[in-house]
């Protein structure tokens, strides 16, 4: 029973998740030989304020003085 976990920024429409779940199920079934009825896809929506990249939280403006971006420094 394969379980595929997908973490992504919150706000994607259910139709997008449905399409992705269908594609992932097809690929896993093809490569692992499992019955699609036994392949689980779990989505974890992460709030923009709970995810950061390059040292900056997604919902933080680039000129926030706490990030160092406004001083020309890289995180």
Residues annotated catalytic, as ranges: 2
Length of the chain in terms of residues written: 75
The dihedrals phi and psi of 7, each to the nearest 5 degrees, come to: -105, 130
Strand blocks (E) in the chain: 3-9, 40-46, 52-53, 56-57
């Amino acid at each position: 029973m394969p379980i595929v976990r997908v973490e992504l920024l919150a706000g994607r429409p259910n139709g997008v998740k449905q399409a992705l779940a269908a594609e992932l199920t097809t690929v896993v079934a093809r490569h692992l030989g499992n019955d699609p009825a036994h392949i689980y896809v779990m989505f974890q929506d992460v709030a923009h304020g709970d995810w950061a990249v390059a040292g900056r939280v997604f919902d933080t403006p680039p000129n926030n003085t706490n990030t160092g971006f406004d001083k020309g420094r890289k995180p």
